Amino acid sequence: NSGDSYPIRTLEELGSRARDVLAANDIGTMVTAAPNLYPHMWSWDAAFVATGLSTVSVARALQELDYLVAAQWKSGMIPHIVFSDVPGYFPDVDRWGTRGVAPEGVQSSGICQPPVHATMLRRIVERATAAGGEDARLAEEFTRRTLPHWVDWHAWLRSARGGDGSGLLTIYHGWESGMDNSPRFDGPYSRVQPGDMEPFVRTDTLKVTDHSQRPSDEEYGRYLWLVQQMADVGFDDARLPAVMSFQVRDVFMSAIFAAASEDLAVLAEQFGLPEEAPQLRQWAREFRDGVDATVDEETGLARDRDVLTGEWIGPPTIAGFAPLVSTADQALLDRQLEIFEGPDWTGDPRLAFPLPASTSTTYEGLKPRQYWRGPVWPVMNWYLAHCLRRRGDRKRYHQLCEASLAQLMEGHFGEYYEPFTGEPLGSMDQSWTAAVALEWLA
């Protein structure tokens, strides 16, 4: 990328640059999440990347999902990182200690990430079906072949993480939420006391040299301690509730699970596993209700819950909009949309673009440059807009589309953006940012 190629002038150019980013991050077996910072496959990134890729090549998109599915553990869990052989990311597979637990030949982490996969697969199938011919044939073949794996993945989430009747999934690490250092997790993390562990050297801060854009060393110490707690019990799902010092019912992940279970039911009916659909729909209902039940009457936002203390989690973050993803309650939806478009969120006149920040812009803990503590994440903009479009809300989809494209025209495909200035932050040429640019343009 040469400096004088910014900003981008036309939407055609934006599309072609986004395709270039994905091509450059493609190492053959996978499209890495980002060129330097994240040289591996991340689970929910891969799903978003696949839908972006499908605007270019359905075959390449399905290959991405295939690679992820091949890393699925015997339990049904799909790991949050599938490692390539590119060195330089910490914690690596050795530090994770998953060899011998992960399937033979698979190098992976030992935790999961939000299950957006079935939703993105449904999107790809719809695109391929509309295109017809070879694309449609490939998508059908892929879906028939991999459906049992996606069903196993959902069954694992429901049984290992969501079997307590709350209609909410429990996470044992902030990384599982995909929103690593969100203030959502400050309370639970404050009670994590790292014990003796091997020393470590971070690599992320060698790459994002402005350290104020990344989590702190103290936070990393806790992240690594949780990895060690899991490794000590061999990543045995049955033992995690007794040993983990971080346990949160993640409301946003639960909403994603509800929506994706519905999407998976549709795919199951269409592609040869209709007998699975009633169970999937039952899970969708259970988690939809679980999410709705977390809404704070006063703020109108959905809340996580700390399992170890029983406390609700207060900070106003983007996860509070979980019902936009999953609810069937029209009054709740209306209230959430009013808040979403109000002065604490996309209606804040100080914003560079009317897009949701990762925390409310009026939150006292807002850090507009730091990761999940304030910046705007392009991938979230598209995911929420996609959920609204699914409900038939084309108007809001187009509004968010216009604002997001305007943001992305600066041309760096940043991992996240400063909400008030629009400055790209974190990693540049981030794959899922390029992928959602292609979705917006499709």
Binding site for ligand 9YW (CB under 6 A): 33, 38, 42, 44-45, 178, 180, 204
In angstroms, the CA 408 to CA 424 distance is 9
The CB-side HSE value for 226 (13 A sphere, CA atoms) comes to: 26
Where residue 413 falls (left for φ over 0; alpha for ψ -120 to 50; beta otherwise) is left
CB 404 within 8 A of CB 442: no
Q: Which of 262, 415, 429, 439 is catalytic?
A: 415
User: Nearest 5°: phi and psi at 232?
Assistant: -60, -25
Q: Please name which of 397, 386, 439 lies closest in space to residue 61, comparing C-alpha atoms.
A: 439
The residue among 418, 415, 409 whose CA lies nearest residue 374 is: 418
Q: What is the DSSP string of 64-120?
A: HHHHHHTT--TTSPPPSEE--S----SS-HHHHT-TTTS-TT--B-S------HHHH
Q: Report the residue number, 166 or 181, with the smaller CB distance to ligand 9YW.
A: 181
Residue 355 · residue 319 · CB < 8 Å: no
- Least gap, CB of 178 to ligand 9YW (angstroms): 4
**Is the Cβ of residue 76 or residue 114 nearer to ligand 9YW in the bound state?**
114
Contact 206, 87 (CB under 8 A): no
Closest CB 355 distance from ligand 9YW, rounded Å: 17
Give me the least distance between CB of 215 and ligand 9YW, in Å please. Answer: 7
Tell the smallest beta-carbon distance from residue 275 to ligand 9YW (Å). 33
Closest to ligand 9YW by CB, 360 vs 431, is 431
> Which of residues 192 and 339 has its CB atom nearest to ligand 9YW in the complex?
192
Residue with the CB atom nearest ligand 9YW in the bound state: 178
Q: How far is the CB of 89 from ligand 9YW (least distance, A)?
A: 7
Task: Tell me whether residue 180 is one of the annotated catalytic residues.
Answer: yes
Q: 45, 64, 152, 180: which one is catalytic?
A: 180
Q: CB nearer to ligand 9YW: give 147 or 385.
A: 385
Three-state DSSP class for residue 222: helix
Please give the positions annotated as active site: 180, 415
